[in-house]
Structure 1
Amino acid sequence: MKSTIKPIAGAVAHLWALFFVGIAALGVMAALTAAGASLLVVLGIGLVPLALALLFLAAIARMEEARVAGLFGFDVPPHPFARSTRTDWLRLPHTVWLQAKDSRNWIGALHFTIMFVLASVAMALLGTIFSSLTVLIGSARFPQRDFWILIFGPVHGVGAIIATIVTILVAVALLAALGVAHREVSRSLMVPSREAQLVAQAHVASQRRHEAINAAEIERTRIERDLHDGVQPRLVSVGMTLGMAKNKLATDPEAAAALIDDAHLSTKAAITELRQLARGIHPAVLDDRGLDAALSALAARSHVPVMLDINITGRCAKATEAALYFVIAEALTNAAKHSNARQVRVTVRERDHGRIWARVEDDGTGGAVRTPGGGIDGIAGRVAAVGGSFSLTSPVGGPTTLEVSVPCAS
């Protein structure tokens, strides 16, 4: 019995508090919407309050999800804030548009509106209880005075006492019914059905599979390019040099020895390039000593000075560590090749809900964009393949900031 009464009482208390929050929130939303609609003719001005209204709506939806999950213990799925991956001036408008497309924002806003209606009724019932208590005390002290009670009309004496007690009991029962309604409406709107969860999981799995295939294709293309542009010509040169040395061996041994020395140096260089290529695919230190050591080794080899700020405990899934290593390695390569950066800062932190967050910042010229098949596209694909999120900010003139958040247990 107590296990049933407690959440219902908590729901009623939430409704009373939500009445005042709702007045303020709906007032702000109405003001922003009215201002945006009235200034819509002036396009640049009218869209600003409408965008703020959408962002405010997204905040209300997340507040309701957190409130319902904490109040009733419902399993409400995480609702990350959708951010645009664009890097041009449309980044912010696109982010706002993503909030408008997010159905969970509108469901949360609908839930908040319904709860405000219930909260208004709950506040009226609370007022009825207090007024009834006042009448109950007054009728006990002044039994001959008539008191007006809703439904019962003018009553006095014992009749007034009975009427007020009945009114209080009915109001309390209605409050309990509102608490139950709160719970059931929240369950219906905020907690997805099993079928919806399975559909969402299938969609996520399909998306991750697509991103993994895309990332693997980009990585394969990169390896082919590195082999074709680097190691292959060097090995061809070694073969030609050895052929020339063979022809000169009988007639000019000294020249042949010099050519063999050149071939030996080229062979060592080719071996070094192959090692670097293998390290770029998956470094052995990552498996042996973990992400911290692998990133330290990566920073030591970087052509641009790197400031490392890593604070993680324990190990994550191999796929997660490999994805983070690839992201940071590719970001450092881009900073060295394209941004003219003088310094790069890499920050890695553990976050709530078992996630790892990483940010790579450089002081370069910016202007990085995501193009199909490019390095940044490969980063986004690797991150999405392990269920993470990716964000890039790179205005022309710099700086460039790349952020990723991935689940530790992928």
Structure 2
Amino acid sequence: MSTAGTTVPGRALRAPVPRPGFWRAPFSARTWGESIYLMLNLFVGILGFVFVVVFVVLGIGLTPLFLLGLPLIAAVVLACRGWGAMERGRARALLDEDVARPERFRQKTPGAWGWIKSGLADGTGWRAALYLFLMLPWSILTFTAVVTLWSATLATISYPATQPLFRSADQPGAMLWGDGPKQPGDDFYLTGPLWVTATFAVGVLLLFLTPQVIRGIAWVDRVMVRGLLGPAFLSQQVQDLTESRGAAVDTAASDMRRIERDLHDGAQARLVSLAMDLGLAKEKMSDDPESAQRMVVEAHNEVKLALRELRDLARGIHPAVLTDRGLDAALSAVAAKCTVPVAVGVDLPTRPSAPVEQAAYYCVSELLTNVSKHSGATRASVAVHAERDRLVAVVEDDGRGGADPAHGTGLAGLTERVRGVGGTLKVVSPKGGPTRVTVTLPM
């Protein structure tokens, strides 16, 4: 698996490009991607504004003529859907903003008139049209800001090398203000070592401040893309709830199959063998009491093993220590059984709800089992803490790495369980290690 993290709320999402630090920002691909995006806004804004305004106004004007404008408006709204898809792709490529695709257009009633009515009532298309309408004034601002900032940065930081180009017989350097050499007045020229150095210092300052301003402007674009070109809020909530419900149902069915398999292959098989042994011991009681006594002793040992298996099975469903003493004690008990030393730290201001607590316990238990069986680690750690209204559990080991939720039923099962309670699972596991799995659950 790559070194970048994979956040899994049911499906793997592309890992975001990390935000560069202040000193690296001018030289990062993210800053230049944002700059290119903001400059291209002008092109998109002009074309989109003209397209929406011209054809919508034309459609409104044609509507009184036997409703001829309604099909045109519906076509414009649906075309804006396609434009929105291209803008999401542009944001994904240059802003690293991966916006989910809204639900597809659905014609509610058959026929041409049904298509027109569905197109006119398409909220996704109208939101995309609003996006294109707003892009023109916004793009003028963004284009002007980006070009001005980078031009000023380039001009000032290169002034020590370009000052000779401004010199002439009556002009010693670049003029900051004044009426010019033909009408001398209160003219001020950037000349002399002090002002040349000061100009260069301003250029260096702009070099590091410009990416911060561009980041703030690009944040507005990200908000516009998410709010106007992504799924509607209620639609996204319905989709998330549907996926969570399906994940919860799948997890419950998987747990039932696991319990049935463990009972069938473990305790049930052992009890059947025990019944057969006791039957044979009963038959030999009178003829061969010594053999019967030996078989009874073996059956007694089998009973102990069956009880232990049933106890472990019950603990796997819901351990008593979790109910009685909480997550800290339960995870400490799990860590004590791990084959490598595990440091456990739990810092929660309040006890979470039972489903979330059980999900956190189960996830950490499975992750520590993976550490024991597959990681080749020499030590591991478990840290559970609260971030606002979220429970965050981090399991880290120094093993060989390479864990991938897309290749392996263990992590895939954990993903489904986390989805069932509205959480996310993030795996960072480069080849060669270390592996860090972060489970985030609502408190």
Normalising by structure 1, we get a TM-score of 0.54
Distance in 1, matches of 2:311 and 2:235, equals 44
Question: Is 1:364 the equivalent of 2:399?
Answer: yes
Aligned 1:29-44 pairs, distance under 5 A:
none
Residues 4-403 of structure 1: matches in 2 within 5 Å? 49=29, 53=33, 99=96, 101-102=98-99, 117-118=140-141, 196-352=232-388, 354-370=389-405, 374-403=409-438
CA distance in 2, matches of 1:378, 1:101: 25
Letter in 2 for 1:377: A
**Cα separation, 2, equivalents of 1:98 and 1:383:** 29
Task: Please tell me whether the aligned partners of residues 345 and 360 of structure 1 are also in contact (alpha carbons under 8 angstroms).
Answer: yes
C-alpha distance in structure 1 between counterparts of 2:244 and 2:421, whole Å: 7
CA contact (8 A) 1:358 1:405 kept: yes
Sort the Cα spacing of 1:309 and 1:222 in 2 relative to 1 into closer, same or farther, 3 A: same
**Residues 328 and 345 in structure 2, CA contact (< 8 A), matched pair in contact too:** no
Q: Higher helix fraction: Structure 1 or Structure 2?
A: 1
Query: What are structure 2's unaligned runs of at least 5 residues?
Result: 1-21, 38-91, 102-127, 146-220
Q: Aligned partners of 2:254 and 2:397: how far apart in 1?
A: 24
Q: How far 1:271 sits from its partner (Å)?
A: 0.9
Question: What one-letter code is carried by the residue in structure 1 that aligns with 2:99?
Answer: D
Q: CA deviation at 1:100?
A: 5.0
Superposed displacement of residue 380, structure 1: 0.6
Deviations 1:168-215 (A, max 9, x none): xxxxxxxxxxxxxxxxx999877679x922211101101101211222
For 1:357, the aligned partner's letter is: V
Q: 1:373 to 1:274 in 2, by over 3 A?
A: farther
Specify the code of the residue in structure 1 equivalent to 2:405: R
Q: Does the Cα contact within 8 Å between 1:357 and 1:404 map onto a contact in 2?
A: yes
Kept after mapping to 1: 8 A contact 2:36/2:94: no
The alignment yields a C-alpha RMSD, in angstroms, of 4.1
Partner deviation per Cα, 1:345-401 (whole Å, 9 max, x = no partner):
11111113x111111112333333335882211111111111111112334443322
> Counterparts of 2:282 and 2:273 in 1: how far apart (Å)?
14
Q: Percent identity?
A: 41
> Following TM superposition, by how much is the alpha carbon of 1:303 offset from its aligned partner in structure 2, in angstroms?
3.5
Which residue type is aligned with residue 309 of structure 2?
Answer: E
Task: Answer whether contact 1:218 1:374 (CA < 8 A) is retained.
Answer: no
Q: Write the distance in 2 (CA, Å) between the matches of 1:55 and 1:317.
A: 46
- Cα distance change on mapping 1:54 and 1:369 into 2, 3 Å: farther
Task: After TM superposition, give the deviation of residue 98 of structure 1 in Å.
Answer: 11
Normalising by structure 2, report the TM-score: 0.51
Using CA pairs under 8 Å that are at least 6 residues apart, name the structure with larger relative contact order, 1 or 2: 2
SS class of match (1:361)? strand
Residue 386 of structure 2: SS of its match in structure 1? strand
Q: CA deviation at 1:112?
A: 9.8
Question: What is the number of equivalent residue pairs in this alignment?
Answer: 262
The 3 A distance-change label for structure 1 pair 339 and 55 is farther
Go from structure 1 to structure 2 and tell me whether the alpha carbon gap of 1:293 and 1:335 turns closer, same or farther (over 3 Å shift): same
Secondary structure, aligned partner of 2:376: coil
- Alignment CA distance shift 1:120-1:96 (3 Å): closer
Q: Secondary structure at the match of 2:414?
A: helix
- After superposition, the Cα gap between the structure-2 partners of 1:118 and 1:52, relative to the gap in structure 1 and judged at 3 Å, is closer
Distance in 2, matches of 1:229 and 1:281, equals: 17
Structure 2 CA distance, aligned partners of 1:273 and 1:225? 13
1:218 touches 1:373 (CA, 8 Å); kept in 2? no
